């Protein structure tokens, strides 16, 4: 294929703002790096080939004229009089620096197409798709999508009537966080979107989650084909009040919504009274979950079209949904933690801070059973509490409970949850990044009236990524 840009690409480029043109050039330079990387020798045989990728990457990270001149100068100096360096490696490896040093993105596309070689037509189509994405979006989500997908999908035509939320916000007035259920009859595949995180449950079984990756104005959709075989569809959504909660690395919005794209079903909504929230462990995490009752403890609420304070569009996600793989918690050790306060009943459901309660304010001796999940990963849990006492479980990266909060930094990266007695398969919302689980409950006779053990039981699932979708360390997939 000819490496000259097409009229289509030039027309798109002419419509871009200067900021968008810079964004597009960054994408094209990254595309050039991607293709050249495929031809690099092993690091032990590198004779300087990677040097020009480094110049290009420096410009992407900080797209100044100074960095562009530095990249261009490196390529020019290496090419003077045929370049003595060309006896050591092909001029092909100069293309990332040449793209970064190009006057504009259109000139940079020529180097990207040269780097693509026999895949130049694919590279060209990707450039058009990326340019269209950046023209339509104009902000960083379009740049992210351009970096990670060959095809930019058109936004869905989602009408305001299908973007739903509670008819009255009064039911949330005194809440900092709240779990809601949206329920519908099954028998159809679903495309769902929300600007708050949610879990999908089919016939009472967790099958996946979504709503995590929203940028302002743009919600990524998730496709759930397996819902066609389900009788009952339930969506468990975690609402967080941005005025009372600050969570790092997550956008919170004043205009929440839940939507089924191309909706053909009727949805009902409920407040979940089975879960309440304690304090935050740190600004990086939501509040601690306290599971008080069966999830059937729900209050019906009316739905209406969401009152959106800004424009929202729903776009197809370029990402596959996470897979959850069951892991078997392996018992490690048990220890008895002494009481620290005057003797009293163990009541974690009344504690403002669960982690502090079991670390420094124990009202009675507690047994601590520690389990190993095999590796650090994002895990979701279901817990049977036993039939005698409530229990508290701490997820952490350290196998000794007393080490979990031995420094103020360690204390920030663990979560504590509690569960009332007599509950089966109670599930805290979301995932916890951890390797170890510490389960704490009163150290006493744990036998039930029938002589069977009444101890809490923990089941866990770790998130996994399909091998076909793993693109690290390459930033693009073309």
pLDDT at residue 224 in the model: 93
pLDDT at residue 138 in the model: 47
Q: Which residue has the higher pLDDT, 83 or 5?
A: 5
Answer yes or no: is pLDDT of 415 > 60. yes
Asked if residues 17 and 138 have their Cβ atoms less than 8 Å apart, the reply is yes
What is the residue-averaged pLDDT of the chain? 83
What length is written for the chain?
Answer: 478
Give the integer Cα–Cα distance in Å for 226 and 196: 22
When pLDDT is averaged across residues 316-335 and rounded to a whole number, the result is 88
Confidence of residue 465 (pLDDT cuts 50, 70, 90): very low
Confidence of residue 218 (pLDDT cuts 50, 70, 90): confident
Give the integer Cα–Cα distance in Å for 295 and 274: 5
Confidence of residue 6 (pLDDT cuts 50, 70, 90): low
Q: Which residue has the higher pLDDT, 25 or 135?
A: 25
When pLDDT is averaged across residues 181-202 and rounded to a whole number, the result is 95
Q: For residue 390, count CB atoms less than 10 angstroms from its CB and return exposed for 0-12, middle for 13-18, buried for 19 or more.
A: buried
pLDDT at residue 108 in the model: 93
Cβ partners under 8 Å of residue 31, min gap 6: 112, 115, 116, 123, 126, 127, 130, 476, 478
pLDDT at residue 98 in the model: 94
Q: Which residue has the higher pLDDT, 445 or 344?
A: 344
pLDDT at residue 85 in the model: 55
Asked if residues 289 and 240 have their Cβ atoms less than 8 Å apart, the reply is no
Share of the chain above pLDDT 90, in %: 41
pLDDT at residue 87 in the model: 52
Give the integer Cα–Cα distance in Å for 200 and 207: 6
pLDDT at residue 281 in the model: 75
Confidence of residue 148 (pLDDT cuts 50, 70, 90): very low
- Rounded to whole angstroms, what are the CA distances from 104 to 26, 172, 205, 401, 476? 10, 51, 52, 56, 21
For residue 211, the Cα-to-chain-centroid distance in whole angstroms is 8
List, for residues 348-387, the tens digit of each pLDDT value: 888 888 888 999 999 999 999 999 999 999 999 999 887 6
Which stretch, 26-40, 309-323, 370-384, has highest mean pLDDT? 370-384
CB atoms within 10 A of CB 312: 22
Q: Which residue has the higher pLDDT, 104 or 477?
A: 104
First to last CA, the chain: 17
Cβ partners under 8 Å of residue 254, min gap 6: 242, 309
Asked if residues 148 and 158 have their Cβ atoms less than 8 Å apart, the reply is no
Q: Compute the Cα dihedral for 118, 122, 124, 127 and give only its sign.
A: negative
pLDDT at residue 146 in the model: 46
Q: Which residue has the higher pLDDT, 81 or 159?
A: 159
Lowest-pLDDT choice from 19-23, 383-387, 410-414, 445-449: 445-449
Which stretch, 62-66, 120-124, 233-237, has highest mean pLDDT? 233-237
Confidence of residue 293 (pLDDT cuts 50, 70, 90): confident
Answer yes or no: is pLDDT of 451 > 50. no
- Rounded to whole angstroms, what are the CA distances from 58 to 62, 64, 108, 141, 475? 6, 9, 16, 21, 15
Q: For residue 293, count CB atoms less than 10 angstroms from its CB and return exposed for 0-12, middle for 13-18, buried for 19 or more.
A: middle
Q: For residue 182, count CB atoms less than 10 angstroms from its CB and return exposed for 0-12, middle for 13-18, buried for 19 or more.
A: buried
DSSP letters for 279-301: EESSTTS-EEEEE-S-TT-EEEE
| Beta bridge mates, 358 | none
**Among candidate residues 387, 386, 406, 388, the one with its CA nearest the CA of residue 396:** 406
Pairing of strands 287-291, 415-419: parallel
Answer yes or no: is pLDDT of 247 > 50. yes
pLDDT at residue 470 in the model: 29
φ, ψ of residue 260 in degrees (nearest 5): -105, 115
Q: Compute the Cα dihedral for 468, 37, 59, 51 and give only its sign.
A: positive
pTM exceeds 0.95: no
């Amino acid at each position: 294929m000819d490496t000259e840009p097409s009229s289509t690409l030039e027309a798109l480029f002419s419509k871009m703002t200067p900021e968008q043109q810079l964004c597009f050039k960054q994408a094209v330079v990254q595309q050039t790096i991607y293709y050249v990387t495929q031809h690099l020798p092993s690091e032990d045989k590198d004779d300087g080939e990677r040097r020009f990728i480094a110049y290009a990457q420096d410009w992407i990270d900080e797209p100044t004229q100074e960095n562009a001149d530095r990249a261009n100068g490196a390529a020019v100096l290496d090419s003077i009089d045929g370049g003595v360096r060309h006896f050591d490696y092909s001029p092909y490896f100069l293309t990332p620096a040449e793209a970064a040093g190009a006057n504009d993105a259109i000139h940079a596309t020529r180097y990207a197409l040269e780097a693509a070689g026999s895949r130049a037509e694919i590279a060209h189509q990707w450039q058009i798709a990326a340019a269209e994405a950046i023209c339509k979006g104009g902000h960083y989500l379009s740049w992210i999508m351009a970096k990670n997908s060959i095809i930019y999908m058109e936004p869905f035509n989602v009408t305001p009537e299908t973007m739903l939320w509670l008819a009255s916000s009064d039911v949330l007035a005194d809440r900092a966080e709240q779990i809601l259920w949206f329920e519908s009859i099954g028998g159809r595949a679903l495309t769902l979107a929300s600007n708050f995180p949610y879990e999908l449950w089919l016939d009472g079984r967790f099958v996946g989650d979504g709503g995590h990756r929203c940028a302002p104005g743009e919600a990524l959709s998730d496709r759930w084909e397996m819902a066609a075989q389900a009788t009952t569809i339930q969506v468990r959504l975690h609402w967080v009040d941005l005025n009372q909660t600050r969570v790092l690395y997550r956008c919170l919005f004043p205009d929440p919504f839940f939507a089924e794209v191309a909706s053909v079903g009727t949805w009902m909504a409920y407040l979940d009274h089975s879960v309440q929230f304690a304090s935050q462990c740190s600004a990086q995490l939501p509040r601690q979950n306290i599971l008080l009752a069966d999830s059937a403890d729900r209050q019906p609420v009316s739905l209406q079209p969401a009152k959106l304070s800004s424009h929202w569009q729903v776009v197809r996600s370029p990402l596959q949904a996470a897979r959850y793989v069951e892991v078997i918690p392996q018992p490690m050790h048990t220890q008895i933690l002494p009481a620290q306060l005057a003797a009293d009943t163990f009541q974690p459901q009344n504690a403002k801070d669960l982690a502090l309660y079991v670390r420094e304010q124990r009202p009675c001796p507690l047994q601590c059973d520690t389990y190993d999940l095999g590796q650090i990963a994002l895990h979701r849990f279901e817990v049977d509490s036993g039939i005698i006492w409530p229990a508290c479980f701490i997820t952490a990266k350290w196998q000794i409970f007393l080490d979990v909060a031995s420094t103020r930094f360690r204390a920030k990266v663990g979560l504590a949850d509690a569960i009332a007695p007599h509950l089966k398969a109670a599930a805290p919302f979301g995932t916890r990044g951890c390797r170890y689980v510490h389960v704490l409950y009163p150290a006493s006779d744990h036998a039930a009236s029938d002589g069977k053990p009444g101890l809490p039981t923990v089941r866990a699932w770790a998130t996994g990524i399909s091998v076909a979708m793993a693109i690290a360390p390459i930033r693009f997939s073309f």
